[in-house]
Amino acid sequence: MESDIHWLTATELGQRIAAHEISPVEVTEAMLARIGRLDPALHAYVVVLRDRAVAQAKQAGEEIATGRPRGPLHGVPVAVKDLCDIEGVPTTAGTAILRERPAQRTSTVVERLEAAGAVILGKLALSAGAMFDHHPSVAVPVNPWNAGRWTGVSSSGPGVATAGGLCFASLGSDTGGSIRFPSAACGVVGIKPTWGRVSRAGVFPLAPSLDHVGPMCRTVADAATVLTVIAGADGRDPTALRAPVPDYRSAVRGGLRGLRIGIDERWNTDGLDPEVTGLVLATREVFETLGAQIIPVKVPANDALVMTWQAIAAAEAAVSHAGLFPENADAYGPSTRGMLEAGPALPATVYASAHEARLRLAGELAHLFESVDVLLTPTVGLATPPIGTEPSPEVLARSMRFTVPFDLSGSPTISVPCGFTQDGMPASLQLIGRHLAEETLIAAGHAYEQATDWHQRRAPLADADRLET
């Protein structure tokens, strides 16, 4: 088996497994060996489920050998953010207090991955409570593009594992940008589906009305495959949407002729890093070449929405952590504690005003999507910062400019690599669509990806034979 098999896409690997060219057991053991070699320095995994993964790989191999294929993920090793319950395994949610509490039942998203025949390698690191910072006792994941740079929060482990070739696909969650921040910082593809498109049953909540679960992969086609598997109604989660789930993989065969892409150039650039926003705006030429129509628009969002998001998130997070906080405050990082302390202290009028602003935004976006099919923005409008820096409130607002509005509205988004800054860090574009328009986003993201070669670049630390631990 070739030494760089970890760089196959999930789609390519699934095809080779189905054709009996590669054994699920061989590839799983190769991935486990790679994790053992690189993860002591990259810190992507909270726990590696070695025995479970090998057993799943053996079962997949037997089923495929006897003509019982389950689909394109059958035998493909993946990993999930440590908010997703797996029966018998603790879900730490990035905290210290939950490390000794095994889950009683597996989350719906993991059940669906396993039903599709995927091999679950383990659970991936995140910030404390899926909020802003990692607990001091946690080894912070290391960006495989540059060990001195931020990996994004809170799905830092999924971003690092996916970019580092430590899994073929992963699941993250997004409440204020936590699929999109690490996708941008680590140079991978992330889909934040429409709110409710993917069940949250068995996924530890942060702010339930803002929480989204979605795939993080190295290509758009892989993300489409994973989303097809995990999406859909769920009796365990009454908020999961009952709309039929299309085969999102078919969207990658769609063209962009006539697609209307809205761009608010001022919003996309004002006060932001010109190098990053320049790379994103340069994608207009690629989309136009592919047949899309660029339409100037004014997005009904502003940086004050970050305060709207903070009010709703803090109040809901306080409810999510009731019974754990403040009794176990030391189990959380300092900024996370600050958010949990702020939630109960919010006046009802502040929460009501935030809710009204949220409804207004959703209505205005729905009106905007009558004239365009997708919006194009940076995923993050600032260069990936050095680790250990404490952003000012102004910088924080600008970094969340393109993420929190679409958690508030529940709109689907896709983040796709779109170049590199002069210091070698990935840049990322974001496409936003109307509710349940994931197929349109996948078609546009895939077409752009295939017209460029950014997704073929490899993070330098992930190609090292060994790293200092």
Active site residues: 81, 154, 178
What strands lie across the sheet with 77-81, from one edge to the other? 45-48, 119-124, 77-81, 170-174, 212-217, 189-192, 413-420, 426-433, 374-378, 260-263, 293-296
Alpha carbon distance 98, 95 (integer Å): 6
Closest-CA residue to 230 (of 176, 181, 172): 172
The phi-psi region of residue 436 (left if phi > 0; otherwise alpha if psi is between -120 and 50; otherwise beta) is left
In degrees, to the nearest 5, what angle opens at C-alpha 183 toward C-alphas 122 and 392? 115
Instruction: Write out the chain in H/E/C secondary structure.
Output: CCCCHHHCCHHHHHHHHHCCCCCHHHHHHHHHHHHHHHHHHHCCEEEECHHHHHHHHHHHHHHHHCCCCCCCCCCCEEEEECCECEECEECCCCCCCCCCCEECCCCHHHHHHHHCCCEEEEEECCCHHHCCCCCCCCCCCCCCCCCCECCCCCCHHHHHHHHCCCCCCEEEEECCCCCHHHHHHHCCEEEECCCCCECCCCECCCCCCCCEEEEEECCHHHHHHHHHHHECCECCECCCCCCCCCCHHHHHHCCCCCCEEEECHHHHHCCCCHHHHHHHHCHHHHHHHCCCEEEECCCCCCCCHHHHHHHHHHHHHHHHCECCECCCHHHCCHHHHHHHHHHHHCCHHHHHHHHHHHHHHHHHHHHHCCCCCEEEEECCCCCCCECCCCCCHHHHHHHCCCCHHHHHCCCCEEEEEEEECCCCCEEEEEEEECCCCHHHHHHHHHHHHHHCCHHHCCCHHHHCCCCCC
The gap from C-alpha 220 to its chain's centroid, in whole angstroms, comes to 12
